[in-house]
A and B are shown apart, each in its own frame.
Chain A
């Protein structure tokens, strides 16, 4: 079994969805989450507050600094994600299709590095 991250990206400055659309997305995502849990593919998942809530922490030899705001100065920011356990990429991709439909946005699928063997 491999683990995959399904990331949802938000475009800053894009028109905010209406309250009904948000409500619809929430209930759709909730339904997919239940499906994922029932299928045993669920590891973790959740939506994030907007990128302006982020703090970047850097620790090196000179000490620890903290900066307000997201790490990457781009318009596309991580909006939420799932971590799934799947047999192979095809399984992850078919879940991604359901997740994309549910949250009404594109979903990026990335595999985790395999855990080092002990």
Chain B
């Protein structure tokens, strides 16, 4: 591993530990960046424990910096540092710190958009321009979101701790949502741009850490399984020209077997625990899709029924209709879509178009494809829909 690799792997952990040592997020970021700058100068070969080296150096740098400054934050932080005299000189990153930081970043008192940006910045170590590119947003907007969120954390006294068991039901879902959205943002970008693929990798890395830190929370394990089983199919999801390939047409030999095995194993662990939740059920659906030579749609439909009972959202109803079409035919599926409201979501008219084609109602299908094409968010999906539209025979 080189220093870039260390940065990727250790940045979030080091910031998390420094936030605890300094009691302030911005000071922690500066200290860790200082330490990496020193590392760039000093490291000919990697030290035996790079993370511990960075934390120790960052801490010493912070003490130097604080001695020179006389602001209130500086005095506060210095007091915190000086009150930990018993700690050994060499302090490595502590795993619990990362957990504390992720709960702080995903606190429900912060705006949902800010939670993701802050998590990517602090735990993923992504720079503002990288986050802006990933979300196709102006850099100034992302920077402002992050600054505002850090200010609110400081001003309102959002605590730096892992919530207690009685708070977890309220506090864990926003953390899982952030990781899920982060992954989807990367996955929806089929253009293959490296940065956006990084979002998937980062979401999986953080989900892995979270699952390692909270192995008894089945929804955490369920989310990790869902991400792994979705990621596993990525290589088959686009063809040689970058075009979208749907599940039934995918070359299954391209799927990542190791990720699938890991995902299936996690789904089995969830089943044994028998405390189902929306992420676990979605993981189970993806386990069925990736099991054997073809999807067992009966099983998928049964799982969607279960998911709809737990989370009756329009998107779940739409996905369930796809399974209904496979089990009971396109007519019933189309009826299930009839009263669905998903304004602006291209997959609703796209699904309706597909069902209409299968029912031989080509004119209506063409109109539905037009509607979907107008709403599609990225080139790959638009090209796919245009291709389908062009292939209609009256």
CA of A109 to CA of B109 in the docked complex: distance in angstroms? 10
Say yes or no: is B158 at the interface (Cβ < 8 Å to chain A). Answer: yes
A88: which B residues are within 8 A, CB to CB?
157-159
Task: For residue A85, give the distance in angstroms from its CB to the closest CB of chain B.
Answer: 12
Interface residue from B72, B109, B167 paired with A89 (Cβ < 8 Å): B109
Contacts of B158 in A (CB 8 A): 88-90
In the complex, A37 Cα to B385 Cα: how many Å?
64
User: Are A117 and B72 in touch, CB under 8 angstroms?
Assistant: yes
Q: Mark A80-118, 1 if CB is under 8 A from B, else 0.
A: 000000111110111000000000000001110000010
Which residue, of A87, A89, A92, A111, has the highest number of chain B Cβ atoms within 10 A?
Answer: A89
Cα A93 to Cα B159 with chains together (Å): 11
Contact of A89 with B156 in the complex, beta carbons under 8 Å: yes
Is A75 part of the contact surface with B, judged by Cβ < 8 Å?
Answer: no
| Chain A interface size, under 10 / 10 to 19 / 20 to 34 / 35 or more | 10 to 19
* Contact B167 A90, beta carbon cutoff 8 Å: yes
Find out whether the CB atom of A111 lies under 8 angstroms from the CB atom of B109: no
Tell me the bound Cα distance from A94 to B109 in angstroms. 12
What is the chain A residue whose CB lies nearest that of B166? A94
Please give, as numbers and ranges, the residues of chain B lying within 8 Å of A111 by CB-CB distance.
155-157
Type the 1/0 row for B147-173, where 1 means its CB is closer than 8 Å to any CB of A.
000000001111100010001000000
Complex formed: what's the CA distance from A110 to B152 in Å? 11
Give A106 Cβ to nearest chain B Cβ, in Å: 14
Contacts of B109 in A (CB 8 A): 89, 93
Q: A2 and B72: CB pair below 8 A?
A: no
Shortest distance between the CB of A83 and any CB in chain B (Å): 15
Question: Which chain A residues border B107 with CB–CB below 8 Å?
Answer: 89
Partner of B159, one of A89, A109, A110, A117: A89
Kindly supply a per-residue 1/0 record for chain B positions 61-82, scoring 1 wherever the CB is within 8 Å of any chain A CB and 0 otherwise: 0000000000010000000000
Residues of chain A within 8 A (CB-CB) of B159 are 87-90
Cα separation A92 to B159 with both chains bound (whole Å) = 11
**Residue of chain B at shortest CB distance from A116:** B72
Within 8 A of A (CB), among B77-114: 107, 109
Which residues of the other chain, A, contact B156 by a CB distance below 8 angstroms? 89, 109-111
Minimum CB–CB distance from B176 to chain A (whole Å) comes to 19
The digit string for A6-27, where 1 denotes a CB below 8 A from any CB of B, is: 0000000000000000000000
Partner of B163, one of A2, A86, A87, A90: A90
**Residue among B72, B109, B156, B167 having the largest count of chain A Cβ atoms under 10 Å:** B156
> For chain B residues 112-168, which have a beta carbon within 8 Å of chain A?
155-159, 163, 167
Query: Which of A87, A88, A90 has the most chain B CB atoms inside 10 A of its CB?
Result: A90
Chain B residues, Cβ within 8 Å of A90: 158-159, 163, 167
Offer 8 A-B interface pairs, CB within 8 angstroms, sorted by A. A86-B157, A89-B107, A89-B109, A89-B156, A90-B163, A90-B167, A110-B156, A111-B156
| Given contact pairs A88-B159, A89-B107, A89-B159, a sample of 9 additional A-B residue pairs in the complex whose CB atoms are under 8 Å apart | A86-B157, A87-B159, A88-B157, A89-B156, A90-B158, A92-B157, A93-B109, A109-B156, A111-B156
The 8 closest A-B pairs by CB, nearest first: A88-B159, A88-B157, A111-B156, A89-B157, A89-B156, A2-B157, A89-B158, A90-B159
